[in-house]
Structure 1
Amino acid sequence: MSEATIRYHTTAQSFERGQDYCRADSVNSLVQRGNTLSAKVEGSEVESYRITIQFDKGGITHAFCTCPYEYEGWCKHIVATLLTCLHQPDQTEQRPELAKVLASLNRRQLETIVQNLANEQPEWMDAVEVQIALLTQSKTQKSQKATRRTTVDSKPIERQVERIINRYVEQWDDEPALDEIREIIQKADKFLEQGDGNNALIILGAIARAYVQDWMNLDGSSGESGIFFEELDGVLTEAMLSTELSESERQQWQKELKNWQKEVDNYGVDSFEMSLAALEQGWDYPPLREVLQGNITELGAWQDEAPQQFSVWKFSCYWAEYLALDPPA
């Protein structure tokens, strides 16, 4: 990391203000744990801004500040943190990564830590319950091949999404909240990779249900909170095309998706077009079969206007998985 690199990722004004903060010793609680750097920077508010910076051998991969800055490049607080690390390396406290710390503890000590944290931060209990449900389900899948399988509880996931949104209500930047929700989506992806589309749908349904209810509590000025519906639609579509649903399950999902769509229609959001099409058309949809046989028109696999965010190639990949073949190159 050099000053030239920092300048490249920020504006001249933010760099200058960051220098001022650095010289004024406004950066404190500077801690490095593995590839993560955290700090607090005193600013115009009573509470210090919190900085989180992640990096790898190639450089910085993620930089986040709790300040409301939403313009070009890194904010002055991130700049101040990096300049302090660069010019005052002795200010950075080196601490072991969490994994190493936990490895030295026994089961009872770990249980005590989790219980104490849950008591001090009640909202953490939802995240703990989600992790327990996911770990238990994964273990059950590996040890049992019976037709009947345990299912993930959707309620803790809904509460977790609600708490994530509520935590960022007064923030101008929606991306941190959306990134946390994406981490939950990744858990659904793991179930899909294991061939468990049912539990993936439970997780994704819980996320969508809570998001539809509370998304307007986010700032929304950047438009990212509305665009996020496209991501939800995409992963729901993948899960639905990867799961054998009964007719009653299909009807229930159609009903819920249409209700969600009605909730957001007034805001100009086309939220669940692909997933509804996947439910209604499935693999037996004639235009889709034409595409998979190589007869591709401008509309691809759609009779009417094609959803822009879903490609023919992706449909082909799912079809290849459906037939247990390699996807097309």
Structure 2
Amino acid sequence: MPQLPELSERDIHQWIDDRSCQRGEKYYRNGHILNPRVQDRVLKAECVGSMVQPYRVEITLADEGIASGYCSCPVGGGGHCKHAAALLFAWVHEPHSFISKETIDDMLQHLERDELVSLIHKMLAHAPEMEGLLELQILSGAEGTTPVVSAETIRRQAERALYSGGDDWQSGYTVASNLTEVVAVGDEYAAKDDWRNAVTVYATVARSVLDNYEMVHDEEGEVLWPVGECIAGLGRALTAVTDPVRREDVLKELFYLYHWDVDYGGIGVNDEIPGILREATLAERELVAGWARAAMSTSGSWGKRSYGRFILGLIPEQLDDETFLHICRESALLTDLVERLLKLERVEEAVAATKQANDYELLRLADIFIAHQRDALAQQLILERASTSKDTRLTHWLKEYAKSHDDPETTLSLAEELFWEFPRLELYQELRELTEPVGRWTALRETILRRLSREGNSTLLIQIYLAEGDVGSALQTLQKSAHQPPRHFGQSLSLSVARAAESDYPYEAIDLYLQAATTLIAQRGRGNYAAATPHLQRVREIYRKLGEEPAWQRLIANLRVEYRNLPACRDEFDKAGL
């Protein structure tokens, strides 16, 4: 056995977080580590955890310390769990309890062929699911042979992997791991320069996953990771294969995967495919573009746009202006269409196309007009749409346009319109910035405050007063609306007033903090009791600053009496030192 590095508890804490270390040490102390052993540089054991079946734990050591780890528990993939910690504590404190064993390779070398065959039969009888692993090994082919792999065999292996995950939360990761083993067969063929079989594996695995995707639980997209590996493998095949027929087979498979993703609604499966295909020959790219045009003719609006972008990026050097514009119109790629039309000085066509856009697209297209020094046309297009649309983004665009073109009157008018559409503090402050330099703010402010008061918008009034440092008016407004809590903000706004009032209106601040605390306590529950204590601590601090500690003592004594039947509440008071 090689010389192993000495480990300390500090090494364990550097490898595993403190909480897992604490729990792992407890597992070790309680004898949860079973059958500890060391094989070469690998520590192994089983650890009794929360499941009936013990978890398998491994830690690999290197000269400098811990190199890697693994545990079969749900969070043990990197060996940073409490079970791995228990194994390491056992090694640090009781290394003599670890039995030294030969490595798997060394043990197998002692067996004859018949013994190995017998062993494999016994292992398959014990774990029938391992038969798939045996088939995968055989598929790789013996050294020096190049058997033609059956796509049907690969499909069965892929589908077996797809349904291997079960129903638990990590089933997607299990499926992905098992699929990766099948993909690895393709990688082995590729390493032998056997691209015919490699392509068969990559294409079959990818198709199997996508054809059965609706049947698999894939919460985080992990089942699609092996598909990405297959796409990368097909890309390498396109680089390596020279036979035109086999290259076309690769192109067909890549386009099938692209087509599936478009039909599915675009979940990112095909993101790398356009870049791969741009490395194909011009004739091959034109072939694929033809397939895309055929698919586009039967697609919905999303598919038409996807295929349109795909074609424009695939064969840009083959597209004259009219062909480019035709594809843009056919696939409703308004941004590319308008950009090219303006570049060609075909302004009337650009305007006509822009008028077909929805409000969101129109805003983006207007910026393109401005980039081509067509500012007046951009403004005209937005003005026409704003007269019939309720989308305030159009009004905001017009306001910013007026501001950038030094038109203060229009800017102010539009800013007021936006404010009254959705009254907010930041829009109020913008109006102030626009009017204060020209001496018009005082009158406008009075108009705004009167209207907000008339409409009962106490929330914004209070925010305005607080922002302007007028705590007295904020308190007055809050008190007037006490029977009808300020909309949207409620208690948090009252607390903002309380914090602002502590210096100049301390007793009013005390009342607001008490109201917040008693409201929480009335809702019951330890969490609410705990949330109430900071408000009472503020009350205590205000009384202290006023030099009225006896008043605080009377108050807290009365509260303790009032809540004497709420032991959890009194406990939270004690924790907070009240």
Q: Same fold (TM over 0.5)?
A: yes
Tell me the amino acid that sits aligned with residue 199 of structure 1: N
Deviation by residue 1:157-201 (Cα, 9 ceiling, x = unmatched): 444444445444425386565455444444433322322211111
State the secondary structure of the residue aligned to 2:80: coil
Task: Classify 1:3/1:156 alpha carbon distance in 2 versus 1 (closer, same or farther; 3 Å).
Answer: farther
The residue number in structure 2 matching 1:271 is 269
With 176-185 and 107-116 compared, the bigger mean Cα shift is at 176-185
Q: Distance in 1 between matches of 2:158 and 2:70?
A: 20
Q: Does 1:25 align with 2:31?
A: yes
Q: Does 1:12 align with 2:40?
A: no
Q: Which one of the candidate residues 151, 159, 177 is aligned to 2:148?
A: 151
The residue number in structure 1 matching 2:144 is 139
The residue number in structure 1 matching 2:190 is 192
Alignment of 1:269-308 (within 5 A): 269-275=267-273, 278=276, 282-284=280-282, 304=313
Offset at 1:235?
Answer: 2.5
With 237-246 and 192-201 compared, the bigger mean Cα shift is at 237-246
Q: Distance in 2 between matches of 1:178 and 1:95?
A: 32
Task: Classify 1:55/1:155 alpha carbon distance in 2 versus 1 (closer, same or farther; 3 Å).
Answer: farther
State the secondary structure of the residue aligned to 1:270: coil
The 8 Å contact of residues 24 and 83 in structure 2, kept in 1 or not, is answered as: yes
Tell me the amino acid that sits aligned with residue 97 of structure 1: T
Structure number with the bigger relative contact order (C-alpha 8 A, sep ≥ 6) is 1
Task: Classify 1:279/1:304 alpha carbon distance in 2 versus 1 (closer, same or farther; 3 Å).
Answer: closer
The residue number in structure 2 matching 1:125 is 131
Offset at 1:237?
Answer: 1.5
Tell me the amino acid that sits aligned with residue 23 of structure 1: R
The 8 Å contact of residues 68 and 78 in structure 2, kept in 1 or not, is answered as: no
Task: Classify 1:68/1:117 alpha carbon distance in 2 versus 1 (closer, same or farther; 3 Å).
Answer: closer
With 207-216 and 184-193 compared, the bigger mean Cα shift is at 207-216
What are the ranges of 5 or more consecutive residues in structure 2 without an aligned counterpart?
A: 1-6, 286-310, 315-578
Task: Classify 1:233/1:248 alpha carbon distance in 2 versus 1 (closer, same or farther; 3 Å).
Answer: closer
The 8 Å contact of residues 176 and 225 in structure 2, kept in 1 or not, is answered as: no
State the secondary structure of the residue aligned to 1:63: strand
Offset at 1:215?
Answer: 8.9
The residue number in structure 2 matching 1:201 is 199
Q: Distance in 1 between matches of 2:134 and 2:86?
A: 35
Q: Distance in 2 between matches of 1:204 and 1:172?
A: 24
Task: Classify 1:75/1:192 alpha carbon distance in 2 versus 1 (closer, same or farther; 3 Å).
Answer: same
Q: When the two structures are aligned, how many residues end up with a matched partner? A: 279
State the secondary structure of the residue aligned to 2:11: helix
CA RMSD of aligned residues (A): 3.6
Tell me the amino acid that sits aligned with residue 231 of structure 2: D
Q: Does 1:104 align with 2:110?
A: yes
Alignment of 1:47-66 (within 5 A): 47-66=53-72
Q: Distance in 2 between matches of 1:224 and 1:243?
A: 30
The residue number in structure 1 matching 2:253 is 253
Offset at 1:234?
Answer: 2.1
The residue number in structure 1 matching 2:389 is none
Tell me the amino acid that sits aligned with residue 117 of structure 2: E
Q: Matched residues, percent identical?
A: 23
Task: Classify 1:154/1:55 alpha carbon distance in 2 versus 1 (closer, same or farther; 3 Å).
Answer: farther
The 8 Å contact of residues 127 and 156 in structure 1, kept in 2 or not, is answered as: no
The residue number in structure 2 matching 1:93 is 99
Q: Distance in 2 between matches of 1:180 and 1:37?
A: 25
The residue number in structure 2 matching 1:326 is none
Offset at 1:278?
Answer: 3.6
Deviation by residue 1:288-315 (Cα, 9 ceiling, x = unmatched): xxxxxxxxxxxxxx9649xxxxxxxxxx
The 8 Å contact of residues 10 and 72 in structure 1, kept in 2 or not, is answered as: no
Tell me the amino acid that sits aligned with residue 129 of structure 1: E
The 8 Å contact of residues 123 and 163 in structure 1, kept in 2 or not, is answered as: no
State the secondary structure of the residue aligned to 2:27: helix
Task: Classify 1:63/1:160 alpha carbon distance in 2 versus 1 (closer, same or farther; 3 Å).
Answer: farther
The 8 Å contact of residues 35 and 46 in structure 2, kept in 1 or not, is answered as: yes
The 8 Å contact of residues 40 and 103 in structure 2, kept in 1 or not, is answered as: yes
Q: Which one of the candidate residues 72, 81, 97 is aligned to 1:75?
A: 81
Q: Distance in 2 between matches of 1:10 and 1:195?
A: 42
Q: Distance in 2 between matches of 1:110 and 1:126?
A: 18
The 8 Å contact of residues 65 and 77 in structure 1, kept in 2 or not, is answered as: yes
Q: Distance in 1 between matches of 2:43 and 2:214?
A: 30
The 8 Å contact of residues 158 and 207 in structure 1, kept in 2 or not, is answered as: yes
The 8 Å contact of residues 40 and 49 in structure 1, kept in 2 or not, is answered as: yes
Task: Classify 1:2/1:182 alpha carbon distance in 2 versus 1 (closer, same or farther; 3 Å).
Answer: farther
Deviation by residue 1:112-144 (Cα, 9 ceiling, x = unmatched): 2222323333222222122122133x4224xxx
Q: Distance in 2 between matches of 1:174 and 1:62?
A: 23
Deviation by residue 1:239-286 (Cα, 9 ceiling, x = unmatched): 2322245176246424642464357x35x5211343466458614479
The structure in which a higher percent of residues are helix is 2
Q: Distance in 1 between matches of 2:204 and 2:165?
A: 19
Q: Distance in 1 between matches of 2:61 and 2:72?
A: 18
The 8 Å contact of residues 25 and 89 in structure 2, kept in 1 or not, is answered as: yes
Offset at 1:6?
Answer: 1.6
The 8 Å contact of residues 209 and 260 in structure 1, kept in 2 or not, is answered as: no
Offset at 1:15?
Answer: 0.9
Offset at 1:74?
Answer: 1.2
The residue number in structure 1 matching 2:393 is none
Q: Does 1:36 align with 2:42?
A: yes
Tell me the amino acid that sits aligned with residue 153 of structure 1: S
The 8 Å contact of residues 23 and 82 in structure 2, kept in 1 or not, is answered as: yes
